[in-house]
Amino acid sequence: MTNLLCIGAGYVGGSTMPVIASHCPEDRFVIVDINEARIAAWQSDQLPIYEPGLEEIVRQTRGKNLFFSTEINRHIAEAEIIFVSVNTPTKTFGQGAGRAADLQYWEKTARQILENSTSSKIVVEKSTLPVRTAEAMERILNSNGNGLHFDVLSNPEFLAEGTAVRDMQNPDRVLIGGRETESGQRAVAKLVELYARWIPRERIITTNLWSSELSKLVANAFLAQRISSINSISALCEKTEADISEVANAIGRDERIGSRFLRASVGFGGSCFRKDILNLVYLCEHYGLPEVARYWEQVVLMNEYQERRFAANMVASMFNTVAGKRIALFGAAFKANTSDTRESPALEVCRALLEEHADIVITDPYAMENASQDLKELAPRVVFESDPYAASENAHAIAILTEWQEYAQLDYERIFHSMAKPAFVFDGRNLLDHRKLYEIGFSVYPIGKPPLTRLVSPGLTPA
C-alpha cells in the first residue's frame, strides 16, 4: 500500500484523485485543502464542483481508500507521494503583474511539505507552472538539513472540464517529467506504475522536467490558437457571406489540420487558456524573445476582440441602442457541462451590455451561483432566472453564450410570442437552427454566417 496525498481540492485535484483512487483500491489517497467549506462539501452529497460521472466515483471510493481532510500537516507526514494542485493564478501585483503566474501558494506549500516531512518523498507538480519551477521547488525542498531527499516530478493535467472523468479514465496521453538522475528516474518509474494500472503503457510519455512543464503551456496555447484562428476568420465570413461552419468543415477535412477545436464562438474562456498563454508570453519576454511573446499574445488579444465584437454587433443590430432593453443571456458557464464561470465570455458580454445600460437577465442550468458571485458588484442590475422561458419574457433579444444542449431543445415559437418585437437571437455558439428561428419570425445573428433578418439595416444583407 502506498500513501498518496493531494494538496488542493479544486477542479484539478478534486476530479483527478478520485479517478486514480478508483483504479488503485489497495493504495490510500487523501485530498487536503485549506478551505474548510470546500472539504466539507467534498464530504457531503453536494460536491463543490459539477463534473459528469464524478459523484458516482466519489461515492464508491470515499471512506474506503479516498479521504478528504483539512489536516494538511499530519497527512504530509504520512504521505510517500504528494501531488500539488493548488492554484497558480495570474499575478495581480509587482513584476509580471497581469501575465506571470503567482507562485506564492506553490512556494508556501513546498515549505509546508518540508516542515512536516520526516521521510523522503516524491512531490508531483499537477498545477500548471512556468518552465523551471521544479528547479526552485527542488531547491526549497532539498534545503533541509536532515538528510531527507525529495524528487520533484512534473505531471501536468490535460483534462478538460465537463469531460474530466472521461479524460482521466481514457487519456490521449499521460505526461511525466523527471530528472535524469537515478533517483529522478526511480520516481518517474513509480508514477508510471500508478497510471499503468489502467492506462496502456504506450500512452504514458516520460520526458525531462522542463519539456513536461513547457508541454502543458504549449498544449493549451495551441488549442487556444485554433479557436482564435477560426474566430478571426468568422469576422471575415460576416463581411463576405462565407459561412464559418462550411469553411471549418472544408479545412478540417484535411487530416493535417484536423476537424476538432474549430468551432467559432463568442470566445474561449476557462481557467487555463488565457492564464497559460499570458504565462508563456511572460516567459518568452523573460528569456529575451519579444517576437515570440508578441506572436502568442495575439491569441489572447484576438479572443478579447471576439468578445467585444459580439457585444458591439448586438448593439449595432438592435438599432444602436440597448439602453433600457431587457436582454436574456442563455448561459453563464464558460462552456457546456460545467458550473465553472472563470474567464467566461458570457460575463464579458454581460459587462459590455451593462455599460450600454441594458437590463440583463441571466439563465444557466448549473452556473448561476458562480455567475452571481462574479457579478456581485453589479448585483442590482443583473437578474438571475433559472427558467429560460421566464428569462426571455418581454426580452428584446436572446444571446446564446454557452452551448448547453437544452437550449437547442426549447420551444422557440413560445419564446418568440413572449418577447418584445422585433425579437433578436444572437447565437454566440452557432447552436440553434437558424433557418427555423428566422421562419418563426426572429432576426437571427449567428457567428461567422450571414444574419437572417427581415430588417434592412445598412451593411447587412436581408435574407
Among 108, 139, 173, 435, binds ligand UDX (CB under 6 A): 108
Q: How far is CA 82 from CA 65, 123, 186, 197, 427, in A?
A: 16, 5, 15, 18, 44
277 contributes a contact to ligand UDX by CB under 6 A: no
401 contributes a contact to ligand UDX by CB under 6 A: no
Residues 262-277 as b or e (16 or more Cβ within 10 Å = b): bbbbbbbbbbbbbbbb
269 contributes a contact to ligand UDX by CB under 6 A: yes
Whose CA is closest to 56, among 28, 6, 21?
21
309 contributes a contact to ligand UDX by CB under 6 A: no
Order of strands across the sheet that contains 81-84: 66-69, 28-32, 3-7, 81-84, 121-125, 150-154, 174-178, 204-208
C-alpha cell, 348: 464579458
Strands (DSSP E) found in 155-277: 174-178, 204-208
For residues 65 to 104, the per-residue mask of contacts with ligand UDX, x marking binding by CB under 6 A and - elsewhere, is --------------------xxxx----------------
Question: Can you give the C-alpha Rg of the chain in angstroms?
Answer: 24
12 contributes a contact to ligand UDX by CB under 6 A: yes
157 contributes a contact to ligand UDX by CB under 6 A: yes
Among 5, 7, 24, 82, binds ligand UDX (CB under 6 A): 7
Distance CA 49, CA 223 (A): 24
Among 38, 274, 325, 396, binds ligand UDX (CB under 6 A): 38
17 contributes a contact to ligand UDX by CB under 6 A: no
Choose between 5 and 188: whose C-beta lies nearer to ligand UDX: 5
Among 22, 127, 341, 453, binds ligand UDX (CB under 6 A): 127
Q: Which stretch binds ligand UDX (CB under 6 A): 34-42, 50-58, 283-291, 369-377?
A: 34-42
Query: Minimum CB separation from ligand UDX for residue 236, in Å?
Result: 17
Choose between 11 and 67: whose C-beta lies nearer to ligand UDX: 11
Distance CA 152, CA 31 (A): 19
349 contributes a contact to ligand UDX by CB under 6 A: no
Q: Which stretch binds ligand UDX (CB under 6 A): 61-69, 105-113, 297-305, 323-331?
A: 105-113
Q: Which amino acid belongs to residue 181?
A: T
Whose CA is closest to 330, among 415, 268, 248, 260?
415
**Residues 197 to 236 in contact with ligand UDX, rule: CB under 6 A:** 220, 223, 227
Q: Count residues contacting ligand UDX (CB under 6 A)?
A: 40
Instruction: Let me know if 420 is exposed, middle or buried by CB neighbors in 10 A (0-12, 13-18, 19+).
Output: middle
Choose between 4 and 322: whose C-beta lies nearer to ligand UDX: 4
Q: Which stretch binds ligand UDX (CB under 6 A): 75-83, 255-263, 292-300, 438-446?
A: 255-263
35 contributes a contact to ligand UDX by CB under 6 A: yes
Q: Which stretch binds ligand UDX (CB under 6 A): 29-37, 74-82, 324-332, 360-368?
A: 29-37
Residue listed under C-alpha cell 447587412: 460
Q: DSSP labels for 389-408? A: HHHHTT-SEEEE-S--GGGT
Q: Which amino acid belongs to residue 51?
A: E
Query: Which entry of 237, 272, 284, 350 is annotated as an active-site residue?
Result: 272
Structural contact between residues 113 and 155, judged by C-beta atoms closer than 8 angstroms:
no
Whose CA is closest to 110, among 98, 121, 97, 95?
121
Query: Minimum CB separation from ligand UDX for residue 238, in Å?
Result: 16
Choose between 129 and 444: whose C-beta lies nearer to ligand UDX: 129
Strands (DSSP E) found in 179-284: 204-208
Plot region of 241 (φ>0 → left; ψ -120 to 50 → alpha; else → beta) = left
Whose CA is closest to 398, among 356, 358, 342, 449?
358
Choose between 326 and 445: whose C-beta lies nearer to ligand UDX: 445
154 contributes a contact to ligand UDX by CB under 6 A: no
Choose between 273 and 296: whose C-beta lies nearer to ligand UDX: 273
425 Cα distance to chain centroid: 26
237 is a catalytic site residue: no
CB atoms within 10 A of CB 3: 16
Q: Which stretch binds ligand UDX (CB under 6 A): 152-160, 287-295, 360-368, 386-394?
A: 152-160
Choose between 170 and 418: whose C-beta lies nearer to ligand UDX: 170
Choose between 34 and 205: whose C-beta lies nearer to ligand UDX: 34
**Residues 173 to 202 in contact with ligand UDX, rule: CB under 6 A:** none
Among 77, 136, 148, 160, binds ligand UDX (CB under 6 A): 160
Query: Which are the catalytic amino acids?
Result: 272
Task: List residues binding ligand UDX (CB under 6 A).
Answer: 7-13, 33-35, 38, 85-88, 105, 108-109, 127-128, 157-161, 220, 223, 227, 261-263, 265, 268-273, 334-335
